[in-house]
Amino acid sequence: MATTELTATAESKAERSWRLIGALGMILGVASFIVTTIVQWMLQPPRPSATVVDVVNQHPAAWLLVSVLAVLGPLVWVAGIGAITSLVRERGWVLTTLGGTVTALGLIAGVGHLALFFGVAGDLAASGLGSKSIGAVQRADDSGAMGTLLLLLFLVGFSLGPILLTIGLRRAKLVAVWVPVAAIVMVVANFVGGIPAGAVQLVAMLLAFGPPTFLLLRRRAERP
């Protein structure tokens, strides 16, 4: 009996630790996305004909910050998505698991895509090449098969995944009905483009991922 109680206590502590790590991953992941988006709004080209390389040369420190956050943020975010997915074991577990898996794959693909984008731009800025050579490299990078594939995987994964994930959590009665609605608004705003739509996307993201993160921070995770 004592051995069983000790085992249960150890498992409970391990579960709380993993929930805490997952919540931290969610917070850092969402925060990195928000900071990266806002900083990119501030990094406007100095003139209409300017390229991304001109932006890098004009704001090297800010570009480095955005590059690091854009690549590392999704990695820790994946840990949070996995922790949220593990909360559902019965009703809604299929949608939650599928949504969490698709979201995680989208974020991982996003790491590759963003690493290529920010890495190539930074390398071109440091190369000292002429504008024609820089333009040729950028066009080749934009049309590259690997970069295009990673971008598509990110867009599909980070669009379909959060919607399925939040619907699954709703079916498990762990979140309110407006959480999946916020996920849908987040996805739609992402494809609209522009700063106003981007602001809507950030607010919707907080509404969609905030309640699941709160679930991880609670002392006892709810069970359906």
Q: Where are the domains of the chain?
A: 11-217
Q: How far is 214 from 217, CA to CA, in rounded Å?
A: 5
147 or 85, which is more confident:
85
**Phi-psi map region of 129: left, alpha, beta (phi>0 left; psi -120 to 50 alpha):** beta
The two tokens of residue 185 are: 């608004």
Residue range 41-65: mean pLDDT, rounded:
77
Q: Which DSSP category does 174 fall into?
A: S
For residue 68, pLDDT beyond 80: yes
For residue 44, pLDDT beyond 90: no
Half-sphere exposure for 183 (CA within 13 Å, toward CB): 26
Half-sphere exposure for 3 (CA within 13 Å, toward CB): 0
- Tens digit of pLDDT for each residue in 187-200? 999 888 788 998 99
Q: How far is 10 from 171, CA to CA, in rounded Å?
A: 30
| DSSP string for 21-71 | HHHHHHHHHHHHHHHHHHHHHH---SSTT--HHHHHHH-HHHHHHHHHHHH
Q: How far is 151 from 187, CA to CA, in rounded Å?
A: 15
For residue 42, pLDDT beyond 90: no
pLDDT for res 7? 53
- Model confidence at 224, pLDDT cuts 50, 70, 90, reads very low
- Tens digit of pLDDT for each residue in 144-178? 788 889 999 999 999 999 999 999 999 988 999 99
pLDDT for res 48? 63
